[in-house]
Structure 1
Amino acid sequence: MQRVHRRRRPSGEAPPLPRHLNASGKWWLSLSGLVLATWVVVVVTGSVAAFDLVDTRILQAIASIRSPGLTRVAEVAGVLATGRAIHVLWLANLLVLLVFRRWRHLFVWLGVGLLVINTAATVAGTLQRPRPYEVEVLGPWSGFSMPSVPMTVLATFLVSSLYSLVPAGRPRDVGKWVVWGLLLVTAASRLYLAQDHPTDVLAGVVLGVAAPVAAFRLLTPNEVYPVVYRRGSPAHLDVTGARGEAIVRALQDQLGLLATSVKPFGLAGSGGSTPLKITVKADDAAEEDESCVFGKLYAVTHLRSDRWFKLGRTLLYGRLEDEKPYHSVRRLVQYEDYVLHLLSDAGLPVPHPLGIVEITPEREYLLVAEFLQGAREIGDPDVHVDDDVIDQGLAIVRRLWETGLAHRDIKPANLMVRDGTVFLIDSAFAEVRPSPWRQAVDLANMLLVLALRTDAARVLARARLQFSDEEIAEAFAATRGLTMPSQLRRMLRAQGRDLHADFLRLLPYRLPPVRIQRWSFRRVGLTLVSVLAIALALAVGLNLLGSPL
């Protein structure tokens, strides 16, 4: 690989993939700040009469062109600001976000909606501005008028729908014009019917647009949480566009690697990160022009998934899997890089680690390692699994035991074979000084993976050369369905063979199954808190189904 001079990012310079509001977001926030400042000035100085005078003159001018036909049109045009229409809009958004499991967008939708609605109601109750004077109000109304709560809610819901449902780019640009058109038509209707003052509508629209724009751009940036309608794991991030350019720039600055392309690789076997095949320029002395490195992209979404995974394991197994979650993406990547170095230093056949690249501080990092060019998963039908390959797989587990390590995710996707040599990859779940139970599970999973391509009798015969019957019996006493990686369980079901039972029949004796359900005070507390949280979430969800307000 060709190496160039590394560049340190100076203090104050933006990272490769910064978080930003864009000019329009800053403009809307400034405008909402101006509206809030105006409210304070009006309350302190008591100058509301001046605004009432201007608003009344405008409404009187509009009322002068009223006619029965225009009134019917205005009543229809203002239907979006009614409670029923807003409720339908809310339920439609909720349904789409739930179906596509876009949880972060849903939570931001809920948060910004509740914040804006309560802020508008509080301000209206504080200012206590009555409905327009000297103009007949033709439509229904309730409460005080500043800001216009219906316009505030409608603007918030429409903009939230735009940022949570419409993909970025041209579709969203067109959607912005549609939202503006709907708001303009609804505002014209409410002014024609004298349901609101002009300044009520203006303040409501500014507040209703500024809050969701700022919230979605900061909390769900498109580079990190894109709105897409294709199938796939949410752990697999989009590496095109701004993120792809940031990865290329960061690799050059931080590792001195000249990347020419960044593409997803091996997504089927990965559910906790975004694996990448990165093409880089080769060294001048090399025969080929390009080489490759392997990258694992981690973001905040993966950190949260890791937390939920570990909580689930604690609830399922108690003390056997009583782990503490990582508190930052940086710690998550640092640990995997550290374990990869441990495995490499211990002489295990793993990809050589090349370093860590920062994409966005505390939010996105890239772990870079050697790319095993030409290697295939051991489950690939084209891979020839002979006695030598079986012995290498078993030797990996023996070496893990000797060095006090456990891989914890031995499955076909994590065992690669190249030119008859077995490599162990993906050390994300590896553990230092694990429990004997976890080490035994590693052995059983390795035996099952090897037997998938051969048979239990052949694998057991080779295993007895490196492990005692007692160790093998312990491994299968510790292993059952939930302790196997999901890919391994799927492949066992697909083949229709009960390899676990085959091994047990071949063993000279069996050990009693290791009891997995082990309770602790922490597990009891977490279980109670989880049950209460689920009950509370269901209660809130049912309440929100009835009304978004």
Structure 2
Amino acid sequence: MSTPVRKSTRRRPSGEAPPLPHQLNASGWGWLAVAAVIIVYWLVVAVHPRAALWLVVVDHRILEGVTELRTPWLTPVMKVAGEPATSHMLLAAWWVALVVLLLWRRWRHLFVWIGAMLTVSAVTDVAAGLIQRPRPVGVEILGDWEGFAMPSRPMAVLAAVGVNVLYALVPAGRPRELGKLVVGAVLGVVAVSRLYLAQDAPTDILNGIVFGVAFPLAAFRLFTPTAVYPVTYRRGRTAHLDLTGRRLEAIERALHDQVGVVAEDVKPFGLSGSGGSTPMRVTVKGDPETYLFAKLYALNHMRSDRWYKLGRTLLYGRLEDEKAFNTVRRLVQYEDYMLRVMRDAGLPVPRTYGIVEITPEREYLLVTELFDGATEIGEAEVDDDIIDQGLDIVRRLWEAGLAHRDIKPANLMVRAGRLHLIDTAFGQVRPSPWRQAVDLGNMMLVLALRTDATRVYERALAKFTVGEITEAFAATRGLTMPSQLRAMMRAQHKDLHAEFCALLPSRPEPVHIQRWSVQRVALTVWVLLAGLVTATVVIELLDSPL
């Protein structure tokens, strides 16, 4: 591959905002500012109750004017109009949302929803107890009510549910903009209803709406930004981020400023084989055009890595114990490092061109060589030479004291008769003998997908001892096989593991990889307690959305 044409790089000056700053936007800051002003007012009222007398007078005059509009036929209509703020309607909305979020596995949106609802509920309860404002006096209350008046808890919860629905269930863009109009109309109708029935005073309603909107809006924009966690109803991996709009502009600008290449086109590439990043092909301007491969890592990938490693530790204990990455920067630095180490060891891995920062500590690109025209080994012709190259890769890993840890068809590419190894994100330095044995077992299984077990076994005997091969298939089974490899064997109706075991002089005894330690016990207890607490909170929320 020819070297991409490079231009001069540019250093971003101190103080300049990154291409994709993490922010609440003007509307989010506006709602929080109004909420802060109201909180200050509450504190003043709590210390000096007489400071609220003028507000009581204004509210009373407005309510008197509204109650004069009461008629026998309008009162039933207003009671129906106020139904969205009742417990049974809000509970129904919560159940529908819960089912949708569970079906589409939007766990992050679900937890933000729960957290936002608990925050709104707690704030309104504390504020009502602090202010202790009574219900409207001097007018007949026609609807149901409970507790102190300010802020209006039904309006706060209704507003929170509306915002939650918009940001957890409605796709961004025109659907969400229309949804905002619908939510605003519903809040307006319910507010008029509660004023007509004298259930709340105007400022009670205003306070409730402000807090019902401000906290969920801030929570969703901070913890589930649309650019990273889009609401979509197309099945796909949540690891794959959108490569259009502002993010595409930021990627193109960062490639030019930091690597010195002019990107003419950036397109998703090889998504089916990637679950922990967003891979893409970058067309670099030049004569002739050249191509680069890049992987976008973001906060959600780092968090997924943490959960993955926690799960592996719980399942396998100290034998698979690993330190989770604390930042996205360290995650991408590690893969860049492993590429360089493996390349220095003579392994056929892509050349790395470095790391590109999109947003500090949030999004980074790892830019590497692209094996243009290469074919995944699961779709390529595999002859004895390719088999030998695959086995040589494992032997070189062993000799260099390395393990790839994710040998599967998607990570083995064939181009012009040469086998290349990609995706070193899970690579390990000085791995356990068990982990090295798993690499050999998975490599032999992958090679047999396009040939047969006997052929691969006979070629392996020239590079590995019978004992090493036996150890490989004793260690490689079940969850130690990548999911893509297992799926392809099922699709071909092959039990290649059993076929290899049948070729061995003696059937391998499975290697028991369960290892208990103090750390594993502590983590297991912590996970169980966290699950119990979460389940309790969810049950409480299900029982009473108000």
Question: Matched residues in 2 for 1:250 and 1:149: separation?
Answer: 47
* Residue aligned with 1:354, SS: strand
| 1:80-159 equivalences in 2 (<5 Å) | 80-159=84-163
Cα distance, 1:543 vs structure 2: 3.0
Q: Which moved more, 1:140-149 or 1:529-538?
A: 529-538
* Residue aligned with 1:135, SS: coil
Cα distance, 1:510 vs structure 2: 4.5
Aligned residue in 2 for 1:236: 240
Q: Contact 2:45/2:131 (CA < 8 Å) preserved in 1?
A: no
Aligned residue in 2 for 1:217: 221
TM-score by length of 1: 0.96
Change (3 A) 1:344 1:314: same
Question: Matched residues in 2 for 1:516 and 1:50: separation?
Answer: 73
1:355 is aligned with what amino acid?
G
Question: Matched residues in 2 for 1:507 and 1:112: separation?
Answer: 59
1:31 is aligned with what amino acid?
V
Could you tell me which of 69, 73, 77 is aligned with 1:65?
69
Could you tell me which of 1, 4, 7 is aligned with 1:4?
7
1:508 is aligned with what amino acid?
P
Change (3 A) 1:529 1:34: closer
1:175 matches 2:179: yes
* Partner deviation per Cα, 1:404-459 (whole Å, 9 max, x = no partner): 10001111110000000000000011100001111111111111111111111211
1:259 matches 2:258: no
Question: Matched residues in 1 for 2:455 and 2:116: separation?
Answer: 61
| 1:414-453 equivalences in 2 (<5 Å) | 414-453=411-450
Unaligned 5+ segments in structure 2 are none
* Residue aligned with 2:73, SS: helix
* Partner deviation per Cα, 1:449-498 (whole Å, 9 max, x = no partner): 11111111211221122112222122112221221111111111222222
Aligned residue in 2 for 1:41: 44
1:373 matches 2:377: no
Aligned residue in 2 for 1:326: 325
Question: Matched residues in 1 for 2:28 and 2:534: separation?
Answer: 32
Question: Matched residues in 2 for 1:310 and 1:136: separation?
Answer: 61
Could you tell me which of 47, 52, 56 is aligned with 2:56?
52
* Residue aligned with 1:271, SS: coil
1:38 is aligned with what amino acid?
Y
Aligned residue in 1 for 2:398: 401
Cα distance, 1:272 vs structure 2: 1.3
Q: Which moved more, 1:142-151 or 1:508-517?
A: 508-517
Cα distance, 1:507 vs structure 2: 2.5
1:193 matches 2:197: yes
Cα distance, 1:51 vs structure 2: 0.9
1:429 is aligned with what amino acid?
F
Q: Which moved more, 1:493-502 or 1:247-256?
A: 493-502
Aligned residue in 1 for 2:164: 160
* Residue aligned with 1:205, SS: helix
Cα distance, 1:307 vs structure 2: 1.3
CA RMSD of superposed structures (Å) = 1.4
Q: Which moved more, 1:253-262 or 1:421-430?
A: 253-262
Question: Matched residues in 2 for 1:87 and 1:541: separation?
Answer: 12
Q: Which moved more, 1:256-265 or 1:349-358?
A: 256-265
Unaligned 5+ segments in structure 1 are none
Aligned residue in 2 for 1:537: 534
Q: Contact 2:46/2:130 (CA < 8 Å) preserved in 1?
A: no
* Residue aligned with 2:378, SS: coil
Question: Matched residues in 2 for 1:437 and 1:167: separation?
Answer: 46
Aligned residue in 2 for 1:205: 209
TM-score by length of 2: 0.96
Determine what percentage of the aligned residue pairs are the same residue.
Answer: 63
Cα distance, 1:511 vs structure 2: 4.5
Question: Matched residues in 2 for 1:523 and 1:412: separation?
Answer: 32
How many residues in Structure 1 have an aligned counterpart in Structure 2? 542
Aligned residue in 1 for 2:31: 28
Question: Matched residues in 2 for 1:118 and 1:481: separation?
Answer: 46
Q: Contact 2:81/2:193 (CA < 8 Å) preserved in 1?
A: yes
Aligned residue in 2 for 1:310: 309
Question: Matched residues in 1 for 2:432 and 2:383: separation?
Answer: 31
Aligned residue in 2 for 1:358: 357
Runs of 4+ in 1 over 6 A off after TM superposition: none
Could you tell me which of 515, 529, 536 is aligned with 1:518?
515
Question: Matched residues in 2 for 1:141 and 1:481: separation?
Answer: 58
Change (3 A) 1:202 1:535: closer
Question: Matched residues in 2 for 1:534 and 1:184: separation?
Answer: 39
* Partner deviation per Cα, 1:82-101 (whole Å, 9 max, x = no partner): 11111112212212111111
